Structure 1
Amino acid sequence: MNKHLYPKFESINIELEQLNINLKRMVIAEHPILYAAAEQLFSAGGKRIRPTIILIIAKLISRTGKISAEQKRLAEITEIIHTASLVHDDIIDNCETRRGTETIHNVFSNKIAVLAGDFLFAQSSWYLANLNNSNVVKIISKVITDFAEGEVKQSIKSFDYKISIEDYIEKSFYKTASLIACSCKATTMLNSNNKETQNNFYLYGKHIGLAFQIIDDILDIIGSTKILGKPAGSDIKNGNLTAPLIFALEEKPELKILINNEFNNQDNINEVIKIIKNTKGIQKAKDLAKEHIQVAIHTMYTRYSKKNIRDLLLVSYYILDRIY
């Protein structure tokens, strides 16, 4: 698969088109600046991987092959929550661009960006409550607290070369995998009371989410600004020690000196990237991502045939193929 080619999901194409229309309708705000900020976020596009996964699962588990209105709304809510988290992330990490366009705090101000993120979280909560399913409300609401937990864990470990892979995976779960895992589970909760089905899709989402984050962190080192839509090396600059760097530290302990100095200039960041590329750090991170992809796929194979989960497999392969 071409790494630049996002797979087409014909089975949910109509639903995805409607989702893009609905997202803009759902974030209409009375104040023009708040509306402008929200509109810019969704106009910037994105692959919509999270709602895509939700819609694929909804169709897979449906006896009639139809996706319910509640599941479609959940897909929209998930994307709004994800977008809100990006707004706050960009402020914390001081990112200048996102998806190739200027970040909200760059266009407006930090204050407006914080309010825009809060507004999106509030909107998602309102639509979530209107699903009238208390169990779904509980599981998705926890995701928002997980975001905060992940940010705190990341901040505590900033520029800490003693961080372990276990610490990194835990932080990655809170920041990325929790939303995907809980959304996958919530999708099944809107269709079935079968606990085994719910837990299987939770595991699928969890491992897909972890793989996605690991691949993102690899791309931050080997990718270009054009591909990433934001400056490469952002994690290193902000002291977020990710899988490739953690693995590289096992081979090159001299990296500790650069980490202790907090990469105080661009030359240091370039040096760290060069050192990482000359170790097995990137390959070990790739292997770790593959392991999580394999666990996710195996979870599906226990219940469904390869033909039935074709679209979920395409998502899995796309996530992995981004680094090739």
Structure 2
Amino acid sequence: MTTLFSRIVSRISGTPRKTLFGCPQCYQSLVFKTLCHSAIDSDTKGDTALMEKVDPYSLVADEISLVSKRLRSSVVAKVPELSSAAGYFFKEGVEGKRTCSMVLLLMARAMDIHGTETPFYCTKDSITTELHRRQQLIAEVTEMIHVASLIHDDVLDDADTRRGIGSLNFVVGNKLAVLAGDFLLFRALRILASLGNTEVVSLLATAVENLVTGETMQMAATVEQCSSMEYYMQKTYNKTASLISNSCKAIALLSGQTPRVATLAFEYGKHLGLAYQFIDDILDFTGTSASLGKGSLSDIHQGIITAPILYALEEFPQLQYVIEKGFENPANVDLALDYLWKSHGIQRTRELARKHANLAAAAIHSLPQTTTMDVIKSRQALINLTQLLTTRNK
């Protein structure tokens, strides 16, 4: 009789990578229910239910709490006003969902390091503890970069709310908000330098560069570029998916994984980040200010064209005229929304999110086999997360 381990391992390894990534029919046939069941065989209903119930947050809740405490101490500056501003979004109660930290800490656990050789002068436990500490630093750095980008975005957008409270620029003014964002970026780079890994530093520096590039693409887009799905996808990768994908790859490299495994970690972060943003784009039209923690319809009021409108444009080419006129006039916003609700824009954007969520899950399925239950559970949690983040309503 096969063991639970062998049944799980046979499914975790999944179909060869070429089949999953190279065959559109294959990844399109992967639905969320299948993904959540796929870690084990159907003949073990109790085991299936157990794996389905793996809660991503609960697996790393203690680590997330530790990362949050370290972040609060890491952003202390010599000038009290700067400390207060830099730590504004790290205070308890306004920390956000800590999604980046959760993904990265789960990815760290999903990297099977139990088969690596241990130097004669070290113990396995000492190596594992040191590795986890370094991987937690990546989570801290990523949160700093992420928050810095939000602060800068709010300044550029003249936003007045974020996470259900006043935006930092609204509370302390643009100048101090910009300085606080800069401070977080430089503090993040200093922590990165302490890791002594030039490839990891390069990955996170690339992510910061992409964040700036994406924001510039959004600001400087022509009407033609605003109407291009290809342009939108590249901008979305730069602004949203690049940070998490490069951070996932950094986690893999720090744990001594092969280039192939590091690439799979990157692919997971990339597709999860894209799927997350597509759902955000939907919620900007369907959510409420209370659920979003900021104003609804904020993108279109700023003239930012996202996937739902782009899909509506494919069905109603006359929408192009509205886009060209701009959205300073509320009547043009209402007209664009009228076309959107008559189209399949929301549905098609949701399907796009599901497609990329499936690709993220496929990357986890393609990781090398393991017999370590903690690793198996973490990989299942990453798969479950693709569903949780793309079926959310806030």
TM-score by length of 2: 0.77
Structure 2 residue 51 is matched with structure 1 residue 51? no
Q: Which runs of 5+ in 1 are unaligned?
A: 2-6
Shift of 1:62: 4.0
Structure 2 residue 243 is matched with structure 1 residue 179? yes
> What amino acid maps onto 2:65 in structure 1?
E
Deviates more, 1:306-315 or 1:212-221: 306-315
Shift of 1:139: 0.7
The corresponding residue for 2:386 is 316
Q: Pick from 23, 29, 38: which aligns with 2:86?
A: 38
Structure 2 residue 163 is matched with structure 1 residue 91? no
Structure 2 residue 319 is matched with structure 1 residue 255? yes
> What amino acid maps onto 1:35 in structure 2?
S
The corresponding residue for 1:297 is 361
- The structure number with the bigger radius of gyration is 2
CA contact (8 A) 1:157 1:163 kept: no
Shift of 1:323: 4.3
What is the distance in 2 between the residues matched to 1:229 and 1:308?
30
Q: Pick from 11, 14, 17: which aligns with 2:65?
A: 17
CA contact (8 A) 1:158 1:240 kept: no
Shift of 1:166: 1.2
Cα RMSD (Å): 2.0
> What amino acid maps onto 2:172 in structure 1?
F
Encode CA deviations 1:270-305: one digit per residue, 9 max, x unaligned. Answer: 442343122101111111111100111111112258
Deviates more, 1:26-35 or 1:71-80: 26-35
Encode CA deviations 1:55-88: one digit per residue, 9 max, x unaligned. Answer: 0011121435766210011111100100000001
What is the distance in 2 between the residues matched to 1:97 and 1:266?
21
Shift of 1:112: 1.0
Q: Give the aligned length.
A: 319
> What amino acid maps onto 1:63 in structure 2?
I
Residues 25, 270 of structure 1: alpha-carbon distance in 2 compared, 3 angstrom cutoff: farther
TM-score by length of 1: 0.93
CA contact (8 A) 1:158 1:241 kept: no
Q: Pick from 170, 173, 186: which aligns with 1:106?
A: 170
The corresponding residue for 1:166 is 230
Encode CA deviations 1:208-228: one digit per residue, 9 max, x unaligned. Answer: 111111111111111111111
Which secondary structure does the structure 1 equivalent of 2:76 belong to? coil
Shift of 1:162: 5.5
Shift of 1:22: 0.8
Q: Which runs of 5+ in 2 are unaligned?
A: 1-31, 33-54, 115-127, 371-375
The corresponding residue for 1:4 is none
CA contact (8 A) 2:244 2:270 kept: yes
What is the distance in 2 between the residues matched to 1:240 and 1:74?
31
